Structure 1
Amino acid sequence: MSLLDIITKASANTEPHSSLAEHPILLNADDILLKLKPEAENPIPHRLDVLSLVLEACISLEIWELLEVLIVNGLIDHSCYSNLIINISAKKRSDLLCLCVKQARNLGSVELLSILKYFLCPPKDGYASMVNVRKEWESQALLAIEKARLGKKSQLAKEAAILLMVAHDGFSDAELCLHYLLASNNVDEVILSSSLSRLVGKELMNLIRYLGKWLKKYERFPQAIPYPKASSVLGLKICDWVPKLEDVAKCLGFVVDENFSSLMLHPEFHEELKSIEGVVSSLAFEAKFCCSMTNVIEKLRGDLQS
């Protein structure tokens, strides 16, 4: 009998127990979870078998709180993520899918493509759990504002608040979920490029519009730059998941390179690309100007030192 069968049978048994067991067994949940945690690159096979059964039970019985604990605490082995992502997507748990993106290392092309397709064209039933993702962004933004108003490190908090405002306002719930994927350091560029080449139609259009939003945001708010200290000093961990301008530019480059023929042959993409072209030109000019100013400053420093 599998662990899933045991849990299912226990859940179905609603008869009250008349007395305690003669020899009760006390379980320490912390010890159990620690034993499930992979200790090395090659975990013991029987632990993986147990972990797979636990994940299967969590998905089948919809024990989402336990599954969240397993994901957040890094207790899931890399080999389990492929099936987990597929199953979570099937259950329309968008918030847990975001956690997988944050925790998983070196996602494969199948998992990455599945995540992209899910958030670019979300299923109708998937929006309910996306609310949890938006609430997290909103709560962190409000916390930044509160720290800016009252905290000792008010300047850092103000800068973080601006960054989170830029990342939140104007983006749909599904696009907030895409932030995690775009900002992740765990995604291999070759695999990402390959996955982007397999997007079609509305998926591709929604991605281009999403990237266009980011470019326009960075054009309008050049002061919105990453603040690594916001996470460690202020506890605003979500600041680590705001895509940088270079993340956006890199992804857009992959999209154009991998889908050039489709973009040129289908007129519906042309208007979006023209809009993005103007923003890119503006950002490129600003970057060139900044580089020129940097060169002038360095030259002046050299002259003063000599």
Structure 2
Amino acid sequence: MTLLEVIKNASVDSRSRHLPLEYPFVLDSDSILHKLKPKIKDINSSALIKPLIRWKIPKADAKLIKINKIFFDTRRKHVKNLDKARFMSSLFSHLESIRREVGVLIDVDPGRSDFIRILIDKLGVFMGKDVAGLLLDASVSLRLSEVVEALVVNDIIEHSCYSNLVNKLVERNMSVLLCLCIKRAFHLGSSEILTILRYFLSPSKSACESMVTVKKEWESQALLAIEQSSDTSRKRKHLLMAKEASILLMMAYDGFSASETCLHYLIASSNINDVMLSPSFSKLNDRELINLIRYLTKWLKKYQRFPQARPCPEASSVLHLEACDWVPKLEDVIKCLGLVLDENFSSLVLLPQFHEELRSIEVVVSSLTAEAKFCHLMADVVVKLKIEVKGGNN
């Protein structure tokens, strides 16, 4: 069979997508392409397309495909009778089979709490998307957070899985993993964003309890920033950076509930744009809209009170303050507030609570506008002074 025939047959194959993929991972192209030979021996042929022969999958890849297919078929049969211990045992066994076949050396103590994450980091790319999807469903059902986290962080699961994943995480109140999905997923749709918004804006009691863990993560980051800002052994540049980060993280922590703290990730995400947010905002109910407006108003008041606050992009890598990357900027807050008002103003004006919030917003915005005008004038003065100094030196 020629390479062209293989591609053609695969494109017209109407088998169910639920079946294991024939080629579940990227094959070793070098060992395949180097063995291809022209079917027509006449090298002077004027044909634009010259068929190739000797298309054959390397033995190592073929063995990996077989290992994954056996695991997929076995686990799919027992998907309704899941047992955490048996599942983890079979997963370790499967990853060990892949490791032996690939020849990867993993010099890590199997007793480590993060051993499964390390295995998936190193070997997950050889599992294939179908096996990864099966593992994801089982891990969420069994609440194996470390497995779900490893699959998401290493981008092993397909983007089409995120819709089902978000719904399952919401159903099970797995807030930490939901926040991880917001941070790592690049293709969340409007329906997933709406589900996440409703989960954070009108959380149940059990959901709030799970969100406390996220709030504590922000607290630990804020305390770490404060500790580093007083560490005199650090360079002056890093001390100043730590002080800026501590202000930023203090703003994001103080005065926000656990559910509102989770909202930070959604509002600050660069992967979520206006086109995705607008449809979601338009489908929120009155209570959810008021809660969202109150949340955004809190941010406006924070930036009014702490005008020195600004993004600290280097704090994440230099000081290990990853939360700094997820503090909503003033422009993020204004953008979201504008979208909320544009999409829902006609219904919001009928709510007494909205009028109270609107008056509060007006006071803050007026203050920020006046400050912005003053800063603009000062910037013009600085530019003119620089020009005069430069001219005098010449």
TM-score, normalisation: structure 2? 0.69
Q: 1 CA distance for matches of 2:177 and 2:249? A: 21
Deviation at 1:109, TM superposition (A): 0.6
Find the counterpart in structure 2 of residue 157 from structure 1.
242
Query: Which residue is 2:180 aligned to?
Result: 99
Flag structure 1 segments of 5+ consecutive residues without an equivalent. Answer: 15-24, 39-45
CA contact (8 A) 1:72 1:103 kept: yes
Q: Which has the higher contact order (CA 8 A, sep 6+)?
A: 1
Q: Which residue of 2 aligns with 1:272?
A: 357
Letter in 1 for 2:365: V
Task: Tell me which amino acid in the other structure corresponds to 2:244.
Answer: E
Partner of 2:212: 131
Shift of 1:32: 5.4
Q: What is the SS of the residue equivalent to 2:187? A: coil
Q: Say which of 180, 199, 205 aligns to 1:118.
A: 199
Which residue does 1:286 correspond to in 2?
371
Q: Please tell me whether the aligned partners of residues 129 and 156 of structure 2 are also in contact (alpha carbons under 8 angstroms).
A: no
Q: Which has the higher helix share?
A: 1
Q: How does 1:33-52 map to 2 (within 5 A)?
A: 34=122, 36-37=124-125, 47-52=128-133
- 1:26-65 → structure 2 map (5 Å cutoff): 28=99, 34=122, 36-37=124-125, 47-65=128-146
Please give the alpha-carbon distance, in whole angstroms, between the structure 1 residues aligned to 2:148 and 2:210.
15
Correspondence 1:194 to 2:279:
yes
Alpha-carbon distance in structure 1 between the residues aligned to 2:197 and 2:293: 13
Q: CA deviation at 1:55?
A: 1.1
Please tell me whether the aligned partners of residues 133 and 158 of structure 2 are also in contact (alpha carbons under 8 angstroms).
no
CA distance in 1, matches of 2:309, 2:266: 19
Q: Give 1:11 shift.
A: 2.8
AA partner of residue 134 (structure 2): L
Instruction: Kindly report which structure 2 residues correspond to 1:240-251, keeping only aligned pairs within 5 A, or say none.
Output: 240-251=325-336
Equivalent residue letter for 1:298:
V
Is 1:296 the counterpart of 2:381? The answer is: yes
Kindly provide the amino acid, as one letter, of the partner of residue 326 in structure 2. W
Alignment match of 1:239 (pick from 320, 324, 340) = 324
- The offset of 1:5, in angstroms, is 4.3
* Superposition CA RMSD, Å: 2.3
**Using the alignment, how far apart are the partners of 1:13 and 1:64 within structure 2?**
14
Does structure 1 residue 219 correspond to structure 2 residue 219?
A: no
Q: Per-residue deviation at 1:106?
A: 2.8
Distance (Å, rounded) in 2 between the aligned partners of 1:271 and 1:59: 42
CA contact (8 A) 1:160 1:239 kept: yes
**How far did 1:179 drift?**
0.2
Q: Which moved more, 1:52-61 or 1:180-189?
A: 52-61
Q: Distance in 1 between matches of 2:256 and 2:313?
A: 22
Which residue identity lines up with residue 199 of structure 1 in the other structure? L
Offset of residue 33 of structure 1? 5.3
- Do 2:286 and 2:348's aligned partners in 1 also have CA atoms closer than 8 Å? no
**By how many angstroms is 1:68 displaced?**
1.9
Aligned partners of 2:153 and 2:334: how far apart in 1? 29
Identity %: 55
Q: Highest Rg: 1 or 2?
A: 2
State the distance in 1 between where 2:84 and 2:294 align.
48
Partner of 1:226, secondary structure, is coil
Residue 6 of structure 1 is matched in structure 2 by 78
Provide the C-alpha distance between the structure 2 equivalents of 1:235 and 1:143, rounded to a whole number of angstroms: 9
Number of matched pairs: 290
